[in-house]
Structure 1
Amino acid sequence: MKRILARSLAPVALAGLALSLAGCTSEPASGDAKAEADGPLTVWVMGDSGTNFESLVEPFVKDSGQKVDVVAIPWDSIDEKLTTSVASGSGPDVLQIGLSKLRTFADAGALLPLDDLLSDRDGLDPGNFPSGVGGDATSVNGEVVSIPWVSDTRVLFTRTDILAENGIDSPPETWDELRSDAKTLASRGDGQYGYYIPQWDAPLPVEMTWSLGGDVIDADGNVAFDTPEFHKAVDVYTGLYADGSVPTNGDFDQTQGFISGVAPMVVSGPYLGKAIADGAPELEGKWQASLLPAGTSSTSLFAGSNLGVWANTDQQEASLDLLEFLSEPETQLEWYSLTGELPTVSSALDDEELNSDPNVAVYTEQLATAKVLPLVSNWDGAVGTELLNALNAIVLTGADRDEALAGFFAKTEGLTTE
């Protein structure tokens, strides 16, 4: 699932949109839940999962009589959609929110605060979810504005058959080992690589920094990349390109590259595992997932997404009913079977059948130490895009390393989680 970085929203514009939304917020419709169910619930889902989501909610529609209109929003269109919908006050009722967008949506005033609405909703009790997917992953400034929906973390996928053919007995456990193994695998011949770096994947150098013992936020909550650990991560990242171990074409397909063996190592999410299993069953037993390479630890990204209720919905109760349905363990396990995206409800994550897959055991182990990207407003545009601009300039156009990084540090100076 390629998640392309979205366009940025200016903080000043967000402030104005928040006022606009506040001005057009309406009270929920009077009457009971049945009265609210007379109109359809509009649900925004991200990416290309609209058809699967329609299938998922069929039992809810049948049992409740509540019609649900599903609108699939491309990942690279969400900022524009947020801008226009907040300005007009005509947003959905329920929406999926990538965690890197949670602060942006909350700052825009787009999300209904949920603290006072969950006390009689047993299915949405925070205790139903692991502690790692609550707190910073659902709240902004101490206020709950979303409910966990899918867990997503990054692990290392390897074609163990190809590694073994080239004298590599096991997946690399450190970034230095990965770089060495990637160089060995790339030496197989022209058009062959050892590893794949998605040029749109801004979290990857952050994950590298975390696993090397560093952070990208200082003790005062400020964005701070200029650290020894980040510079080490840059060395690994740029070194893979310098070694000729990764493709440089921006349209490289990581799934097909992995299946064909052209790039037999890649860091990705559980959905890649499903794509491999579904698209290349002949590779069963020839690939595996393992923990992210480590420096001082194997710390990966918690990159799940949440569900929120639009601030001025007139179907508040029906929206919360849908969130409860989506938080049922059976619903979450069905979503995993449809998409390969992991549950967030503890009882679903602990499901015996789910964990009979050894790769799932790796995913859940990695989740235990995964971290959420800092809740900096418009992280994707203000930090992620600038980080990729700097790194891609170094590895793709030969820009001076120190100058490119100095420019990146300057552009992110003053950004904060506060």
Structure 2
Amino acid sequence: MSVRQFSAATSVLAMMAFAAASPAHAVTEIQWWHAMTGPNNDVVNKLASDFNASQSDYKIVPSFKGSYADTLNAGIAAFRAGNAPGIMQVFEVGTATMMAAKGAIKPVSELMKEEGEPFDPNSYLPAITGYYSTSKGDMLSFPFNSSSMVMWVNLDALKKAGIDAPPKTWPDVFEDAKKLHAAGNPTCGFSTGWVTWALIEQFNAWHNLPIGTKANGLDGFDTVLEFNSPLETKLLENLVELQKDKSFDYSGRTNTGEGRFTSGECAMFMTSSAFYPNVKANAKFNYTAVAMPYFPEAKGAPQNSIIGGASLWVMGGKSKEEYKGIAKFFTFLSDTDRQANLHQVSGYLPITKAAYEKTKLSGFYEKNPILEVPLKELTNKAPTENSRGLRFGGMVQMRDVWSEEIEAALAGKKSAKDALDTAVSRGNQMLRQFERTATK
């Protein structure tokens, strides 16, 4: 071996030895806790794996934590114990709770600015931006899976009952529910998931009625509930009457009863537009989704719907590297093509204007009109103080209280008016307690 060859071989061996002695490239893991089930759980896992494959510095680790309420409670408990995830999915009504958890969160607008990632709140749909922003316009969380409420309709069942078209008004819903029930199949004419979201939150926004003062809490924690007006009472009174023979049949507080629609048991079912993948996969009949019904005597109705779904909150106390990775992941999620595809496969809304326009221009809605229904609801009219959204403290627990009172009315234990009056009274007590805690 020549001197030159020996020298080259020595250099190679030295480099190999240095490489062996050097630590391996460290990948920063970022925990992402979420509440997605079924096909949308698959969407979450794919987003994480696609991001992980796109670079080698960070690894998003998704972890299912149960229902929305379970995920919120788990995240708060984990923060108190000092082991919160980097990212937590929180449903929209948990916004006030997250805002009040001092030190628990890092606002997304602050994160993106610090990490130098592109982030323009104006690129998102206004109905979404407003819900997750402070009064100054600073976004607190990252919009992820936004939805709205629609009415799913079994067209075959309607045809069998002699009903020509899906109902548009509440009186039509009541009448069609009786006809469907009388036809014998399905046994339940009409039902709903997320009962307080349907019968109070969305109902009031759609009819331009206040749920509470201070723009439904968006303008301050010292809000007072007021959803016990004659129109809300009229709705509940009609449902109480229909419940007697199960023309309307209660399906629980959350979305656990949605399978009653896909099984063919309930012909009309109000729930999230994000129910789409499940309907597509499981319904063995002709179906569609239409806008929520309204009372025609309500001045200006329908107004506009409000968003449901959830956003991604960045938890406080994380390392600089974790925050850098989270910011890059949010930039990855904001990609127009990715957002358009996410909308088209999940049933959730395109969160950016660009993704909506891209989907529209592609002709997608001409073949899939169902997925544009919630977007048309959200943009039906410019939002008012009654229809921008809501931000009540302790909303998870308060929904249970409202549900208890609705259940009492449906069971014949209280009049509809008494139930709503009590729901408002109990809710106001909870708001005052939250206010005292949040402003300490």
Aligned residues: 379
Pick one of 33, 38, 42 that aligns with 2:27.
38
Please tell me the residue identity of whatever aligns with 2:199.
P
Pick one of 367, 380, 384 that aligns with 2:396.
380
Give 1:360's aligned residue: 371
Distance 2:43 2:352 in 1: 19
Give 1:394's aligned residue: 409
**Which runs of 5 or more residues in structure 2 are unaligned?**
1-23, 216-222, 436-440
Task: Give yes or no for contact 1:130–1:346 (8 Å, CA) kept in 2.
Answer: yes
Task: Give yes or no for contact 1:213–1:229 (8 Å, CA) kept in 2.
Answer: no
Deviation of residue 68 (structure 1)? 1.6
Deviation of residue 411 (structure 1)? 0.9
Distance 1:319 1:44 in 2: 13
The 10-residue stretch of structure 1 (176-185 or 350-359) with the greater mean CA deviation from structure 2: 350-359
| 1:72-113 CA-partner distances (Å, limit 9, x unpaired) | 111141243133212122111112121111111121132202
Give 1:70's aligned residue: 62
Q: Which secondary structure state, in structure 2, belongs to the residue aligned with residue 43 of structure 1?
A: strand
Give 2:50's aligned residue: 59
Distance 1:397 1:335 in 2: 43
Distance 1:155 1:257 in 2: 16
Please tell me the residue identity of whatever aligns with 1:44.
W
| 1:327-368 CA-partner distances (Å, limit 9, x unpaired) | 112222343355332321122222125423111222221121
Give 1:27's aligned residue: none
Deviation of residue 143 (structure 1)? 4.3
Deviation of residue 211 (structure 1)? 2.9
Task: Give yes or no for contact 2:405–2:419 (8 Å, CA) kept in 1.
Answer: yes
Distance 2:86 2:160 in 1: 53
| 1:391-418 CA-partner distances (Å, limit 9, x unpaired) | 1011125334444333322212253798
TM-aligned CA distance change 1:271 to 1:213, over 3 Å: closer
| 1:210-269 CA-partner distances (Å, limit 9, x unpaired) | 334422112574222232232223224323314531235659964443234321111122
Distance 2:240 2:122 in 1: 42
TM-aligned CA distance change 1:165 to 1:238, over 3 Å: same
| Residue 114 (str. 1) matches residue 118 (str. 2) | no
Task: Give yes or no for contact 2:75–2:85 (8 Å, CA) kept in 1.
Answer: no
Q: Which secondary structure state, in structure 2, belongs to the residue aligned with residue 316 of structure 1?
A: helix
TM-aligned CA distance change 1:50 to 1:167, over 3 Å: closer
Distance 2:263 2:60 in 1: 40
Q: Which secondary structure state, in structure 2, belongs to the residue aligned with residue 71 of structure 1?
A: strand
Task: Give yes or no for contact 1:153–1:302 (8 Å, CA) kept in 2.
Answer: yes
The 10-residue stretch of structure 1 (353-362 or 318-327) with the greater mean CA deviation from structure 2: 353-362
Give 1:19's aligned residue: none
Give 1:344's aligned residue: 351
Distance 2:281 2:240 in 1: 33
Please tell me the residue identity of whatever aligns with 1:54.
N
TM-aligned CA distance change 1:62 to 1:319, over 3 Å: same
Task: Give yes or no for contact 1:160–1:287 (8 Å, CA) kept in 2.
Answer: yes
Task: Give yes or no for contact 1:182–1:195 (8 Å, CA) kept in 2.
Answer: yes
Task: Give yes or no for contact 1:56–1:334 (8 Å, CA) kept in 2.
Answer: no
Distance 1:219 1:59 in 2: 42
Task: Give yes or no for contact 1:157–1:268 (8 Å, CA) kept in 2.
Answer: yes
**Which runs of 5 or more residues in structure 1 are unaligned?**
1-34
| 1:124-176 CA-partner distances (Å, limit 9, x unpaired) | 31121111111233447854211211220011111222212222211111111
Give 2:4's aligned residue: none
| Residue 205 (str. 1) matches residue 221 (str. 2) | no
The 10-residue stretch of structure 1 (222-231 or 98-107) with the greater mean CA deviation from structure 2: 222-231
Task: Give yes or no for contact 1:186–1:244 (8 Å, CA) kept in 2.
Answer: yes
| Residue 263 (str. 1) matches residue 266 (str. 2) | yes
Residues 309-324 of structure 1 mapped to structure 2, 5 A cutoff: 309-314=314-319, 315-324=322-331
Give 2:165's aligned residue: 170
Task: Give yes or no for contact 1:212–1:233 (8 Å, CA) kept in 2.
Answer: no
Task: Give yes or no for contact 2:121–2:139 (8 Å, CA) kept in 1.
Answer: no
Deviation of residue 123 (structure 1)? 4.7
TM-aligned CA distance change 1:380 to 1:227, over 3 Å: same
Distance 1:269 1:400 in 2: 28
TM-score, normalising length: structure 1: 0.81
Deviation of residue 191 (structure 1)? 6.5
Distance 2:309 2:186 in 1: 33
Give 2:7's aligned residue: none
Give 2:288's aligned residue: 288
| 1:17-54 CA-partner distances (Å, limit 9, x unpaired) | xxxxxxxxxxxxxxxxxx99732011111232544322
Deviation of residue 57 (structure 1)? 2.3
Q: Which secondary structure state, in structure 2, belongs to the residue aligned with residue 195 of structure 1?
A: strand
Point out the structure with max Rg over C-alpha.
2
Please tell me the residue identity of whatever aligns with 2:169.
T
Please tell me the residue identity of whatever aligns with 1:277.
K
Task: Give yes or no for contact 2:143–2:351 (8 Å, CA) kept in 1.
Answer: yes
| Residue 103 (str. 1) matches residue 96 (str. 2) | yes
Task: Give yes or no for contact 1:203–1:301 (8 Å, CA) kept in 2.
Answer: no
TM-aligned CA distance change 1:155 to 1:88, over 3 Å: same
| Residue 408 (str. 1) matches residue 430 (str. 2) | no
TM-score, normalising length: structure 2: 0.77
TM-aligned CA distance change 1:184 to 1:46, over 3 Å: same
Distance 1:218 1:36 in 2: 54
Task: Give yes or no for contact 2:93–2:391 (8 Å, CA) kept in 1.
Answer: yes
